[in-house]
Amino acid sequence: MKTIFEKTKNYKKENISIENKFGRKKELNLPNLPEIEVMRHYKELSDKNFCIEKGFYPLGSCTMKYNPRINEKVSSFDGFNLSHPNQKDEDIQGILELIYNLEKNLKIITGMDAITMQPCAGAHGELTGMMVVKKYFEKIGQNRKKVIIPDSAHGTNPASAAMCGFEIIEVKSNEFGQVNVEELKILLNEDVAAIMMTNPNTLGIFEENILEISSLAHKNGSLLYYDGANFNAIMGYTNPKLMGFDIVHLNLHKTFSTPHGGGGPGAGPVGVVENLAEFLPVPKIIFDGEKYKREYNFENSIGKVSTYFGNFGVLIRAYTYILMMGKLLKQASTDAVLSANYLKEQLKEKYYLPHDGYCMHEFVLSGDKQVQNGVHTIDIAKALMDKQIHPPTVYFPLIVHEAIMIEPTESETKETLDNFISAMKEIAEMVENNIDFGEFPKNAPIKRINEVYGARNLDLKQNEL
């Protein structure tokens, strides 16, 4: 048996050899600066970032609404910040109560019968929902392999369904920008597991035939899935349950105000009708009248989809927003729809509007008029940056050529909307006057770049230290 001394000698020898093999051959080239210089450097970098507190952020399909500061204050409470998900249930009763109550509120808002808060983003919610679809058909002994998705859908819809092993079938839009019901009837058969939709759809148009679509799906034995990315348009007016949907995911980081720039954070809770509740992920929060607890023992659950219990900080912010707004959630939708229609009517003379009717919370213009003068949608977006306005979503949805997708949300004043209208009209007039757009943006920290070259010639190598 080796002594501690012998073990220590061998340990040292092994580490010396490792150091010789993997250790640095030269000193790190680290800056040597006083703290004040470091702080000034990072403050300057932060000033170059564009954010919703700095200017208008009309990203269509994304609902970049203002995040009230009260949300940040509540989420920073020590009782939330200093807790740990490995604590026993009796030690985190307040946290479990918050999640339980948020589920109750979202059931009222969506009409659904059961909710899980675990998914960490919208696409994660889609994946969870499609896992529920798959589990449901496995239980009833049907091997359905197809999911129907409109041609205007978010790209994550087909991706989420495909990750669950489904074959994607595209259904075309009609001349009104809505699902072509006659084509849908042809595509529906006993192999279709689900139809994935959002309403209003990605063009910002309400699907007027949604009850007929729901009836067709259910007569076919299929499930109807609701992508909640555009839920900000309908709160208090209708809900997915009334429209006939069986599964819904919500984007708490969109509809319920939590900031989600830079790719996160997010939360994508999933709600289902009663006969699908048994398939939701575990753990589920149970209240016995006295205490809250996490329960894992559900035979038909799809299992766990998230480490611990999702992005809890996002849940706190969304719960705070819902409590603060109450019945005013309906007013938020009212104002969002009003703002979008106001912008649409003001801009449709200068830009081509493919579907000229009432829109919901967003609408899609086209830069086709400007293309005739050699100016593309990307040029319009770059010019907007010099006016301290974040460009709208461009080139999406794909079914609109030179798409400009605009969503003002309910957060903005009429003065802000008028400023955006003036900027867009001024840009259209610059196009008519044959101004060179090749140099825009002129005032941004990073000037005009060649996106196509960058996409085709990625350089992801790290510089040697």
pLDDT tens digits, 185-214 = 999 999 999 999 999 999 999 999 999 999
365: helix, strand or coil: strand
Q: Which are the contacts of 61, defined by CB distance < 8 A and separation ≥ 6?
A: 154, 202, 229, 230, 362, 393, 396, 397, 405, 407
d(C-alpha 64, C-alpha 70), whole Å: 17
C-alpha 137/C-alpha 167 separation (Å) is 15
So what CATH class is 69-325? alpha beta
What local confidence, expressed as pLDDT, does residue 305 receive?
95
- What is the chain's length? 465
- What tokens does 90 get? 């009796």
Residue type, 79: G
All CATH 3.90.1150.10 domain ranges in the chain, comma separated: 336-455
Strands 363-366 and 403-406, sheet pairing: antiparallel
Yes or no: say if 436 and 427 are a contact pair by the CB < 8 Å rule: no
CA distance 318 to 316: 6
How much is the average pLDDT of 279-288? 96
Residue ranges, CATH 3.40.640.10, the chain = 69-325
The pLDDT tens digits of the residues spanning 430-447 come to 999 999 998 899 988 888
Q: Which of 127, 163, 128, 165 is nearest to 144 (CA)?
A: 165
Confidence category of residue 263, pLDDT binned at 50, 70, 90 = low
- What is the domain class of 336-455 according to CATH? alpha beta
Give the pLDDT score at 17: 66
pLDDT in the model for residue 82: 92
**Taking a C-beta distance cutoff of 8 angstroms, is the pair 361, 337 a contact?**
yes
DSSP count for the chain of H helices, then E strands:
17, 12
Can you give the pLDDT at residue 271?
98
Which bin fits 61, alpha (ψ -120 to 50), beta or left (φ > 0)?
left
What is the arithmetic mean of pLDDT over 276-283?
97
**Which residue in 172, 271, 286 sits closest to 225, CA to CA?**
271
Contact indicator for 341, 359 with CB cutoff of 8 Å: yes
Q: Using one digit for the tens of pLDDT, what is the confidence trace for 391-442?
A: 999 999 999 999 999 999 999 999 999 999 999 999 999 999 999 998 899 9
Compute the mean pLDDT over every residue in the chain, rounded to the nearest whole number: 92
Quote the pLDDT of residue 237: 97
pLDDT tens profile 143-164: 999 999 999 998 899 999 999 9
Mean pLDDT of 85-114: 97
* pLDDT more than 90, % of the chain: 81
Q: Is residue 64 very low, low, confident or very high in pLDDT (cuts 50, 70, 90)? A: confident
Are 90 and 291 contacting, i.e. CB atoms less than 8 angstroms apart? yes
pLDDT score of 7 more than 60: no
Question: Has residue 117 got a pLDDT over 80?
Answer: yes
Q: Are 197 and 224 in contact (CB under 8 A)?
A: yes
Token output for 218:
């259910």
pLDDT for the residue numbered 465: 42
Peptide bond into 265 cis (omega under 30): yes
| Contact between residue 154 and residue 202 where contact means Cβ atoms under 8 Å apart | yes
Tokens of 388: 């301290």
pLDDT value of residue 18: 65
d(CA 327, CA 286): 27
Alpha-carbon distance of 30 to 45, in angstroms, equals: 19
Say yes or no to pLDDT of 6 above 60: no
**How far is C-alpha 194 from the chain's CA centre?**
21
**238 residue type, one letter:** T
Per-residue tokens: 318: 């969304």
pLDDT exceeds 70 at position 48: yes
Smallest Cα–Cα separation from 61: which of 406, 416, 420, 413? 406
Cβ neighbours around 125 below 10 Å, total:
31
**Which residue type sits at 58?**
P
Which letter, b or e, does each residue of 299-322 get, where b requires 16 or more Cβ atoms within 10 Å of its Cβ? eebbeebbeebbbbbbbbbbbbbb
